[in-house]
């Protein structure tokens, strides 16, 4: 039986009865709704983007609910929205001959140059050709320039002419690509080809990728199955339409909610963020008789189950609590019945534990909150503002001149909060160009897929569902979409620190006891999960790759 944990009056850990389990934010925040075509990709070649997508996004009106309200939560589901795309078109015979015979594009090379290139190709083969059974550790991925620099050096290129694309394509034969067996290297080669505008080579590589990826295979084979979907969508310029379909405004189905719950239980990433934020809130407001919490993406409300239980055991009695829950009805993490349904469930839970609770629902996205009056700030209340895996979905100055990301932070500051909690994925994908963003995503999600491998069997349907519904949507958006259509825009803590400072916040160091309590939680997971603290920020990672950060501000 799975358990969730709560803070006791001293900050310790308690167990939440299973009957209070609800689904919650996905690791990536559920920016899109629906699955990926790779969900049906077994260990044989299949056409990319040939799978129906799941629907998403619960709707619901606003309203206020108190702890005396009886529990009533609606749920609804609808058939998935079918999104299909033609498979990569096979190359014509003349195109195949073109790649199989590099001399057709190098007629001006003399015999000496040809000999040098042949020697270079042999070295490339020794570097790139890996046995299919070899599985590289995710830390071994090259940096943003390794692939092109290595090949150009061998071929005598100088890096000119559009980043060397004109040099790479004639020197890589179809035969060489077909003998490459490592999905990671194939993904990198494909992404670099796309970045260089060499779509013919990219389609050759995709054809090979379809032969080596496997949703039941090793972590990298599984990850590659989903990343190739994004690459195909980018080549076919279907990323915009695909991402719109993934964000369709249909209620979240039970399958997606179930996957989110499994993700919450088997991996500590989301639980870590909730525990860190709850610990900071409970500590900062421990002597306050009236508490107001504003959550700018409350999702399923799971975070507050533990906090309400902890407040119920506070010495001297629980405070009067008011929660303002902001929730985008179109988001993948939206609860069935909308934000108002979340409030009804939390009100019932609070009544069961003797905590006076009032809930105010704001059925808007964070970017849609432009008037602070909608948040109903009241005098005499100690205010906490919670940003849990939400801000990376907000457009910034690189997308919109209105800069909703920083505008929301300034609004939060104007409310005079006693504590602001920030939980985010530790990745740099916001303003990075396509190739750098692709490599960062490969490294980040490679670690996440590795961590799932130690928890769930490779044939597990639950694992397939988690990878499809909680991770693949984010990957497709990161790879295929640009501009306003790309909603996954993560930043590392250094950048968040700069934004928080510009908004007028100062860091509020998390207590040592919060760190110790989370350390106890991690003992129930694989020892490859690592907890670290630096400059008052707590990081959770897999091996030496930080994946989630938690910090507090005032």
DSSP letter at 20?
G
The pLDDT score that the predictor gives to residue 495 is 98
Helices 303-312, 338-352: axis angle to 10 degrees equals: 30
Question: What is the rounded distance in angstroms from the CA atom of residue 259 to the CA atom of residue 263?
Answer: 6
**Lowest mean pLDDT across 36-45, 173-182, 414-423, 451-460:** 36-45
**Mean pLDDT on 489-502:** 98
Average the pLDDT over each of 40-54, 198-212, 359-373, 414-428 and give the range with the smallest value: 40-54
In this prediction the pTM is 0.73
Q: Do the Cβ atoms of 296 and 326 come closer than 8 Å?
A: yes
**Nearest-angstrom CA–CA distance, 177 and 125:** 9
Residue 431 pLDDT > 50: yes
- Average pLDDT, integer, range 194-215: 95
Lookup result for tokens 């702890």: 67
How much is the average pLDDT of 415-441? Answer: 97
Element (H, E) at 552: strand 545-553
In the three-class reduction of DSSP (H, G, I as helix; E, B as strand; rest coil), residue 427 is classed as coil
Q: What is the pLDDT of residues 283-306, one digit of tens each?
A: 999 999 999 999 999 988 999 999
Mean pLDDT score, 53-74: 42
Phi, psi at residue 301, to the nearest 5°?
80, 10
| Positive or negative torsion for Cα 346, 352, 353, 357 | positive
Percentage above 90 pLDDT, the chain: 57
Six-digit token pair at 481?
Answer: 């979409």
Size (the chain), residues: 554
What is the per-residue pLDDT for 252?
52
Instruction: Determine whether 459 is exposed, middle or buried from the number of CB atoms within 10 Å of its CB (0-12, 13-18, 19+).
Output: exposed
What pLDDT is stored for residue 81 in this prediction?
34
The CATH code for residues 4-81+249-429+488-523 is 3.40.50.150
Task: Give the model's pLDDT for residue 58.
Answer: 37
Average pLDDT over residues 505-510: 94
Assign 527 a pLDDT band (cuts: 50, 70, 90): very high
Q: How confident is the model at residue 328 (pLDDT cuts 50, 70, 90)?
A: confident
The overall average pLDDT reported for the chain is 76
Q: How far apart are the C-alpha atoms of 301 and 129, rounded to whole Å? A: 48
pLDDT (tens digit per residue) in 81-104: 333 333 334 444 443 343 344 344
Whole-angstrom distance, CA of residue 169 vs CA of residue 201 = 7
**According to the model, what pLDDT value does residue 42 have?**
60
Comparing CA positions, the residue from 357, 364, 358 lying closest to residue 338 is 364
Average pLDDT over residues 527-544: 96
Radius of gyration of the chain (CA): 25
Dist. CA 240–CA 487, nearest whole Å: 11
Instruction: Give the pLDDT of residue 10.
Output: 33
pLDDT of residue 338: 85
Residue range(s) of every CATH 3.40.50.150 domain in the chain: 4-81+249-429+488-523
Rama region for 58: left / alpha / beta (φ>0; ψ in -120 to 50; rest):
beta
Close Cβ partners of 545 (under 8 Å, ≥ 6 residues apart): 138, 139, 443, 444, 447
Angle at 399 between CA 396 and CA 400, to 5 degrees: 80
Predicted confidence (pLDDT) per residue in 245-284, tens digit: 554 434 356 777 788 899 999 999 999 999 999 999 999 9
Query: Do 175 and 100 form a contact (C-beta atoms < 8 A)?
Result: yes
Rounded to the nearest 5°, which phi and psi values hold at 7? -90, 135
Contact 124, 151 (CB under 8 A): yes
Confidence of residue 467 (pLDDT cuts 50, 70, 90): very high
pLDDT digits (tens, 9 = 90+) for 302-324: 999 999 999 999 999 999 999 99
Query: 146 falls in which pLDDT band (50, 70, 90)?
Result: very low
Helix, strand or coil for residue 160? helix
């Amino acid at each position: 039986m799975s358990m969730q944990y709560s803070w006791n009056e001293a900050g310790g850990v308690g167990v939440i009865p299973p009957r209070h389990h609800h689904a919650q934010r996905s690791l990536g925040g559920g920016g899109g709704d629906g699955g990926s075509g790779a969900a049906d990709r077994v260990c044989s070649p299949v056409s990319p983007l040939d799978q129906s997508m799941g629907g998403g996004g619960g709707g619901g009106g606003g309203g206020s609910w108190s702890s005396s309200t009886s529990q009533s939560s609606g749920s609804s589901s609808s058939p998935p929205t079918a999104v299909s795309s033609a498979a990569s078109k096979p190359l014509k015979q003349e195109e195949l001959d073109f790649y199989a015979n590099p001399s057709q594009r190098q007629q001006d090379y003399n015999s000496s140059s040809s000999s040098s290139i042949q020697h270079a190709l042999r070295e490339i083969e020794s570097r790139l050709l890996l046995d299919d059974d070899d599985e590289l550790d995710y830390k071994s991925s090259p940096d943003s320039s390794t692939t092109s620099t290595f090949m150009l050096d061998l071929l005598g290129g100088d890096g000119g002419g559009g980043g060397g694309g004109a040099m790479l394509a004639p020197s890589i034969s179809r035969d060489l690509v077909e003998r490459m067996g490592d999905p990671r290297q194939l993904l990198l080669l494909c992404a670099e080809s796309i970045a260089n505008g060499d779509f013919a080579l990219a389609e050759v590589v995709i054809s090979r990728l379809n032969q080596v990826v496997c949703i039941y295979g090793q972590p990298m084979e599984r990850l590659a199955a989903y990343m190739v979907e994004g690459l195909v969508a980018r080549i076919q310029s279907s990323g915009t339409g695909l991402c719109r379909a993934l964000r369709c405004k249909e209620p979240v189905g039970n399958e997606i909610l179930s996957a989110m719950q499994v993700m919450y239980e088997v991996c500590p990433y989301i639980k870590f963020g909730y525990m860190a934020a709850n610990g900071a809130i409970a500590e900062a407001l421990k002597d306050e008789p009236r508490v107001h919490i504003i959550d700018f993406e409350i999702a399923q409300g799971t975070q507050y189950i533990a906090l309400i239980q902890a407040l119920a055991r506070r010495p001297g009695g629980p405070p009067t609590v008011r929660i303002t829950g902001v929730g985008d009805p179109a988001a993948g993490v939206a609860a069935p019945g909308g934000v108002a349904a979340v409030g009804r469930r939390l009100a019932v839970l609070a009544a069961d534990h003797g905590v006076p609770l009032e809930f105010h629902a704001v059925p808007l996205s964070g970017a849609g909150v432009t008037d602070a009056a909608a948040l109903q700030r009241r005098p005499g209340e100690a205010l906490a503002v919670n940003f849990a895996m939400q801000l990376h979905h907000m457009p910034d100055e690189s997308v919109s001149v209105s800069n909703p990301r920083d505008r929301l932070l300034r609004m939060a500051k104007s409310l005079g909060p006693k504590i602001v909690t920030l939980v985010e994925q530790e990745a740099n994908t916001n303003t990075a160009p396509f190739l750098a963003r692709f490599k960062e995503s490969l490294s980040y999600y490679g670690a996440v897929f590795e961590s799932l491998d130690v928890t769930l069997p490779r044939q597990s349907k639950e694992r397939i569902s988690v990878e499809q519904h909680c991770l693949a949507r984010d990957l497709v958006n990161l790879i295929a979409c640009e501009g306003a259509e790309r909603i996954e825009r993560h930043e590392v803590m250094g950048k968040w620190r700069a934004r928080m400072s510009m908004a007028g916040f100062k860091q509020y160091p998390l207590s040592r006891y919060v760190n110790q309590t989370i350390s106890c939680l991690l003992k129930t997971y694989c020892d490859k999960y690592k907890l670290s603290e630096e400059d008052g920020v707590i990081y959770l990672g897999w091996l030496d790759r930080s994946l989630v950060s938690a910090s507090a501000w005032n």
